[in-house]
Each structure stands twice: as C-alpha cells, then as structure tokens.
C-alpha cells in the first residue's frame, strides 16, 4: 500500500509560500535577501482593529463560534457588501472562513465533481489550479499576455467553454498581474456566461480596495448572474491582516449551506478573536485604509520606472493589487554570470542567487514568460532590490 495518498501526491506545493519559506531560510542563514515574493502588505494592522481584538480577548470571546461565523460579523459583511459593492446579501448567504483560501476551497469542494471542468483566465493565483485538482476536477487555462494587460476577451471565454464547464475562477484586481476589469469588460464576459446557465462564477475580490483607478465591479451586480455567483473576499490584503486569517463568501443560500457543512467537518468556525476584529475592520470607513493604497500606488510607479531602466523587462501599468508581472522572455536562451536562463523559473532563481531578490516565477501562475514582483515592501527595499537586479543584469 502506498504511504501517501494519490490526492496529496497530485498536488503541487504552493510556489508563493515555498518562495517565502526559502526567503526565510536564507535570511536565517544570514543572507541579505529582499523578499518580493509574498503578497503581503508590510504595514501593521491598524490600531483600531488591534484594539477590537484586545477588547474581544478581555470580553472572553474564547469559545467555538458558529461554523459559518458570528451573526454580528455576518451582518457587518452584509453591510460591507451593500456599501462597497452594491450587493444585497442576507446573513444566511454568508460563510466566514479561515482566510479566503479556505473560502475558495469550500466552494470548489461543494460544487465540483470528478470530470467537471474549471476555467482559469491566466495568469491566475497559484492555488486555483491546485484547489481544482484537489476537488478532482480538471482545469483549462485561458491565456492572456502583457499586450492585452493580461485580460481575456469574451471570444476567448466562449471558445473555452465545453459541456463539462462547471465553474470559472475570476479574480479582479488580479493576482499576479494587477489587471482590473472595467464594468464594460465584466458585462461583455457576462453576455457569454448568460448563454451558459450551468456555469458558476467564483468572483475573487480580495484585492478590491487595492484599486488605483475607477470603481471596482462585481459579477454578482449583474442580475442575471447573481444566483450563480459566489463573491469571495477577506480582510488580509486591504487591512494588513494576512496572519489573522479571515475570509468570507456571499453566495446563494444553498451554496452557503453546503460550504458550512463542509467547513463543519474540516475546521469548524474561524478564530473567534480575529472574527471580532474583522467586525471593526469592515465597519470602519474605507478612508481609514487609504494611506496604504496611496503608498502602494506610489511604489508601483517607482518600481515600473526602475524596471523600465533595465533592458529586457517588458512592463505594463496595472490598475490594482500590489504586483507587477513583467515579461522577461527576452532573457530566455541567454547565459548571465554563468547561469543559463531557459525559462522564467531559471530567471527567478538567478535573481535569488545573484541579486538576493526573491520573486515568483510566472510558471506558477500559468504565464511562463513572466515573473511576479510584489511591491508590498518598503520603498527603500524596493529601490535596493531594483538596484541589485540592474547590477546583476548589466
Ligand atoms: N495570496 C498571497 C500571494 O499570492 C499569499 C500567499 C498565498 O497564499 O499564495 O502571495
């Protein structure tokens, strides 16, 4: 009998988390590594959220919470959906989980059967494909490139759909490209999905507030799709709360119920203190976190300018999230400082080895010509990282 299951053996390691672990390991060995691999704000969680957590500890919030989250939190999430997204959800349509990653895994587990197909507009976040695999579905990438700002077209979507298509994972603003779809672009894709009533839409909006231009749209705002859209969000990115692990969905009630059943057998409710803190985060005016968004935007511009000073990087200007996704294919086939660069993984490893800068290969995101640079690091670190990269490539 095999020691490990086929399930775990079929699962790749998360390359974002692996690169972060590698960075920690090298730093522990005394190496001066600049980590631009992890999508994690370098800010502290705002004080008003920390105070709510301390208050919750003092108020003895220490018991199991309802599996789908505290009622007060679910009500706060409904208020947030209404205020920020013009979406009407009631608390019985909400499920709170241990991070948006668990929210997504719940949805995949309850909707997918073996043989179902999941569509992944590429580039896509590393765990989408792994979660689809875990749910025994197959996935199909819909490619895009820097020339189209990493967005797919309605024609591509139409061409990718088959009778087996059950779910599409959609993410705007996008990790890893930073691409943000406009209302019109959503509506054009919706026209295609309207023709295929059996397809569900998982709309991952975790980066909604890291948005530099125009409004952020949502699939669930399109009335014809509301009943088959699962809106995913969380507090990690907007409120600098990555380690607090709170994600949530707004979904048709029957899907929310199924996710609660799934979660009830795997982990029960999310952390009680983090849930109380999340109420404070979501009830606060968005202006309270604007300083972080402004800072991210300024860093984006700095990094784009510095990258454009280096021959070989093809860049665009993403409208959201805190990633740049330059095309580095012009380096493929070259040997630099005795390192043969055949692909984006070689290039990312080269940057780690020679410049001591950690990035993530585009291969992990279904975009083999690119690397992901997270600019959720301090300006000083970003400037130093880019100076190092420039030096090793000159
Ligand atoms: N979502 C973040 C990233 O892409 C955190 C790491 C992860 O969960 O993949 O870097």
Q: Is the CB of 17 under 6 A from ligand 1?
A: yes
Place of tokens 């784009």: 304
Distance CA 97, CA 165 (A): 26
How high is the pLDDT of residue 53?
98
Q: Are 385 and 36 in contact (CB under 8 A)?
A: yes
| CA–CA dist 248, 233 (Å, integer) | 6
Order the strands of the 94-97 sheet from edge to edge.
Answer: 94-97, 247-250, 229-234, 200-204, 165-171, 117-121, 138-142
Q: Is 39 in the pocket of ligand 1 (CB under 6 A)?
A: yes
Nearest residue (CA) to ligand 1, atom 2: 39
With a 6 A CB cut-off, is 38 part of the ligand 1 pocket? yes
Instruction: Give the C-alpha separation, 166 to 119, whole Å.
Output: 8
**pLDDT at residue 164, rounded to an integer:** 98
- Walk along the chain (394 residues) and give the pLDDT tens digit of each residue: 999 999 999 999 999 999 899 899 999 999 999 999 999 999 999 999 999 999 999 999 999 999 999 999 999 999 999 999 999 999 999 999 999 999 999 999 999 999 999 999 999 999 999 999 999 999 999 999 999 999 999 999 999 999 999 999 999 999 999 999 999 999 999 999 999 999 999 999 999 999 999 899 999 999 999 999 999 999 999 999 999 999 999 999 999 999 999 999 999 999 999 999 999 999 999 999 999 999 999 999 999 999 999 999 999 999 999 999 999 999 999 999 999 999 999 999 999 999 999 999 999 999 999 999 999 999 999 999 999 999 999 8
Q: Are 167 and 199 in contact (CB under 8 A)?
A: yes
Pick the closest to residue 37 from 394, 302, 345, 331 (CA basis).
345
- Do residues 116 and 133 make contact, with C-beta atoms less than 8 angstroms apart? no
Q: What is the pLDDT of residue 99?
A: 98
**Is 99 a pocket residue for ligand 1 (Cβ < 6 Å)?**
no
Nearest CA to ligand 1 atom 3: 39
**What is the strand order of the sheet 371-374 is part of?**
323-324, 371-374, 360-361
**What is the residue with the minimal CA distance to atom 9 of ligand 1?**
16
39: CA distance to ligand 1 center in Å? Answer: 5
Mutate to test the pocket of ligand 1, among 15, 21, 126, 377 (most ligand atoms within 8 A of CB): 126
Closest among 42, 43, 36 to 16, alpha carbons compared = 36
| d(C-alpha 92, C-alpha 250), whole Å | 9
Determine the atom of ligand 1 nearest the C-alpha atom of 37.
10
126 CA closest ligand 1 atom index: 9
Angle of helix 126-134 relative to helix 100-111, nearest 10 degrees, comes to 40
Going by CA atoms, what residue is nearest to atom 5 of ligand 1?
Answer: 39
> Which ligand 1 atom sits closest to the C-alpha of 206?
1
Tell me how far apart the alpha carbons of residues 79 and 322 are, in angstroms, rounded to a whole number.
Answer: 26
Ligand 1 atom closest to the CA of 374, numbered from 1 = 10
Give the predicted TM-score (pTM) of the model: 0.96
């Amino acid at each position: 009998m095999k020691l490990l299951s086929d399930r775990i053996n079929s699962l790749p390691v998360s390359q974002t988390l692996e690169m972060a672990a590698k960075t920690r390991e090298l730093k522990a060995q005394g190496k001066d590594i600049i980590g631009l691999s992890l999508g994690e704000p370098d800010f502290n969680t705002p004080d008003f959220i920390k105070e709510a957590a301390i208050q919750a500890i003092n108020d003895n919030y220490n018991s199991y919470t309802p599996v789908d989250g505290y009622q007060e939190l679910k009500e706060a999430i409904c208020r947030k959906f209404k205020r920020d997204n013009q979406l009407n959800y009631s608390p019985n349509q909400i499920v709170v989980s241990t991070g948006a990653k668990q929210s997504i895994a719940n949805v995949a587990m309850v909707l997918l059967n073996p043989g179902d197909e999941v569509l992944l507009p590429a580039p896509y976040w590393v765990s989408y494909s792994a979660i689809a695999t875990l749910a025994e579905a197959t996935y199909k990438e819909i490619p895009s490139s820097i020339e189209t700002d990493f967005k797919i077209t309605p024609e591509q979507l139409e061409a990718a759909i088959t009778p087996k298509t059950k779910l599409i994972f959609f993410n705007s603003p996008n990790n890893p490209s930073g691409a943000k779809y406009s209302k019109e672009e959503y509506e054009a894709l919706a026209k295609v999905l309207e023709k295929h009533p059996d397809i569900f839409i998982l709309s991952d909006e975790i980066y909604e507030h890291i948005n530099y231009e125009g409004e952020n749209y949502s699939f669930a705002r399109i009335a014809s799709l509301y009943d088959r859209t699962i809106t995913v969000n969380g507090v990690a990115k907007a409120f600098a709360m990555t380690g607090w692990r709170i994600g949530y969905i707004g979904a048709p009630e029957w899907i929310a119920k199924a996710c609660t059943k799934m979660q009830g057998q795997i982990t029960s409710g999310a952390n009680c203190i983090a849930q109380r803190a999340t109420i404070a985060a979501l009830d606060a005016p968005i202006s309270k976190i604007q300083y972080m968004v402004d800072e991210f935007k300024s860093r984006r511009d700095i990094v784009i300018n510095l990258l454009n000073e280096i021959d070989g990087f093809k860049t665009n200007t993403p409208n959201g999230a805190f990633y740049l996704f330059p095309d580095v294919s012009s380096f493929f086939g070259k040997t630099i400082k005795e390192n043969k660069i055949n692909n984006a993984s070689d290039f990312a490893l080269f940057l780690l080895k020679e410049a001591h800068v950690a990035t993530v290969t585009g291969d992990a995101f279904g975009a083999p010509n690119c690397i992901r640079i997270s600019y959720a690091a301090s300006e000083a670190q970003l400037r130093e990282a880019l100076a190092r990269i420039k030096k090793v490539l000159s």
